[in-house]
C-alpha cells in the first residue's frame, strides 16, 4: 500500500555512508527528510546531493536531518561522494543509504513500475519528530528537485504544526499567514494578538505568529 500524509513513517535498519543506522533512532527528536535517487554517478542526483550539502546550515537551523537513498552499494556511494564534492564545491557529510535489496525503496513506494521497474523516482518524504509523514513530493527521474521549495515546505510544516494557521500560495518565511477555519471568529483576537485582516469569513490573514 502506498504511504500517505499522516501515516507512520516505516522504520528500518540500513547500511549508510555514515555507518549502520536504525532510522527512527537516527532521527531522534528532529524533523527528517528522506529522499531517493535513481542511481549513483547520475548527473541530476549529483547536483541534488551537492545542493543538500551546500544547504547544511539551513537544514540545521530547522532542526532537520537529511538522509538520501540510492540502490547502489556503499563502495559506489563513497566514490560518488568524491565526485559530488569536486564538481559541486561542497562537503557531503550526511548519510546515503545503500539500498541494494531495495528494502527502503519498497517500504516508501519509491519504485513506480510504469516509470521504471528497477530505479527509484525522486521521492521526498517530510517526517515530523513523532515519526509521522507530513508531506510527500514526487518528481520523475528526469526532473531535479527544487531544494528551496523543500526548505519552504519545512518552514510551513513546522509553523502550522505549532499554530492554528495555514500558509497561502507562494508563502515565504515572514509573510502573513491564513487563520485556520477551525478558529471561531470570536476567538481570533485572543489567539492572534498581532491583529488580523478579514477578507471573507473563511479568508482571514494574520502576521506570522512566531515572527
Q: Would you name the residues annotated as active-site residues?
A: 45
User: Which cell numbers hold the place of 53?
Assistant: 550539502
Distance (Å, whole) CA 202 – CA 199:
8
Q: Do 17 and 81 form a contact (C-beta atoms < 8 A)?
A: yes
Helix (H, G, I), strand (E, B) or coil at 94: coil
Distances (CA, A) of 130 to 75, 106, 138: 33, 22, 22
Percentage helix, strand, coil, to 5, in the chain? Answer: 30, 25, 45
Q: Do 14 and 98 form a contact (C-beta atoms < 8 A)?
A: yes
Distance (Å, whole) CA 14 – CA 25:
12
User: Which cell numbers hold the place of 34?
Assistant: 528522506
Residue holding cell 469569513?
201
Amino acid at each position: 500500500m502506498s504511504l500517505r500524509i499522516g501515516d507512520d513513517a516505516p522504520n528500518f535498519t540500513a547500511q549508510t555512508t555514515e555507518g549502520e543506522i536504525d532510522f527512527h533512532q537516527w532521527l531522534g527528536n528532529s524533523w527528517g527528510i528522506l529522499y531517493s535517487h535513481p542511481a549513483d554517478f547520475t548527473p541530476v542526483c549529483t547536483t541534488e546531493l551537492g545542493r543538500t550539502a551546500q544547504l547544511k546550515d539551513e537544514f540545521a537551523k530547522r532542526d532537520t536531518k537529511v538522509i538520501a537513498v540510492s540502490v547502489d552499494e556503499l563502495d559506489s556511494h563513497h566514490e560518488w561522494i568524491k565526485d559530488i564534492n569536486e564538481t559541486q564545491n561542497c562537503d557531503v557529510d550526511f548519510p546515503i543509504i545503500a539500498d541494494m535489496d531495495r528494502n527502503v525503496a519498497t517500504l516508501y513506494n519509491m519504485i513506480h513500475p510504469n516509470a521504471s521497474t528497477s530505479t527509484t523516482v525522486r521521492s521526498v518524504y517530510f517526517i515530523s519528530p513523532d515519526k509521522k509523514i507530513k508531506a510527500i513530493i514526487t518528481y520523475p527521474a528526469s526532473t531535479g528537485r527544487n531544494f528551496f521549495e523543500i526548505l519552504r515546505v519545512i518552514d510551513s510544516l513546522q509553523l502550522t504544526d505549532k499554530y492554528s494557521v495555514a500558509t497561502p500560495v507562494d508563502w515565504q518565511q515572514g509573510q502573513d499567514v491564513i487563520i485556520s477555519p477551525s478558529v471561531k471568529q470570536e476567538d481570533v483576537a485572543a489567539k492572534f494578538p498581532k491583529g488580523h485582516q478579514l477578507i471573507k469569513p473563511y479568508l482571514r490573514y494574520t502576521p506570522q505568529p512566531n515572527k
